[in-house]
């Protein structure tokens, strides 16, 4: 399964979204930009954007109202180790209240993986961050001696909200 992300203004992405009739689409925005996500077995409709292969998934992206994108640059040598860790994750997040979906995205043309989680709202995400499931998912992160060797640079997080559709 393929996953594509493009960026632009909310009005441009809404018009682009209305022209795509296959796969699952989700339009989101934050204070800086808007993004359109397309999940499909087919090719990208986007002229510009980022292309991914889905390594792991749970839930439906179209139901997401709040998105957290954990962008993780991984070295070429570190890719197998990184992917192994995520394929063998505890899967506790799926039981959290307010959880909607997760996608582990392998980049096709860059080194930055994305761990996308979708939530009913921002407070559901923040509650998960305070949970035992979060602590369990992240406990090994502090214990790994090799953690620097597989990462190209520090990771960063970006968040988005469901796009508000402007009525004319």
CB 26 within 8 A of CB 64: yes
Neighbours of 53 (CB within 10 A): 12
d(C-alpha 90, C-alpha 104), whole Å: 14
What pLDDT is recorded for position 94? Answer: 93
- Rounded to whole angstroms, how far apart are CA atoms 89 and 64? 21
- Which residues in the chain land under pLDDT 70? 140-148, 165-168
Residues 6 or more apart whose CB falls under 8 angstroms from that of 40 comprise 1, 2, 4, 22, 23, 24
Could you give the domains of the chain? 2-162 (3.30.70.100)
Task: Assign 34 to helix, strand or coil.
Answer: strand
Q: Give the pLDDT confidence of 16-47 residue by residue, as tens digits.
A: 999 999 999 999 999 999 999 999 999 999 99
- Predicted structure pTM score: 0.90
């Amino acid at each position: 399964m393929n996953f594509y992300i493009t960026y632009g203004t909310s009005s441009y992405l809404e018009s682009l979204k209305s022209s795509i009739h296959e796969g699952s689409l989700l339009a989101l925005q934050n204070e800086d930009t808007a993004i359109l996500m397309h999940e499909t077995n087919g090719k990208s409709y986007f002229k510009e954007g980022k292309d991914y292969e889905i390594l792991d998934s749970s839930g439906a992206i179209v139901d997401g109202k709040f998105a957290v994108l954990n962008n993780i640059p991984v070295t070429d040598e570190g890719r197998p180790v990184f992917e192994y860790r995520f394929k063998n994750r505890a899967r506790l997040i799926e039981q959290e209240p307010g959880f909607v979906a997760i996608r582990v995205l392998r980049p096709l043309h860059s080194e930055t993986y994305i761990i996308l989680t979708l939530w009913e709202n921002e407070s559901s995400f923040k509650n998960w961050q305070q949970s035992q499931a979060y602590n369990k998912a992240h406990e090994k992160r502090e214990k790994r001696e090799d953690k620097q060797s597989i990462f190209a640079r520090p990771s960063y997080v970006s968040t988005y909200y469901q796009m508000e559709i402007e009525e004319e």
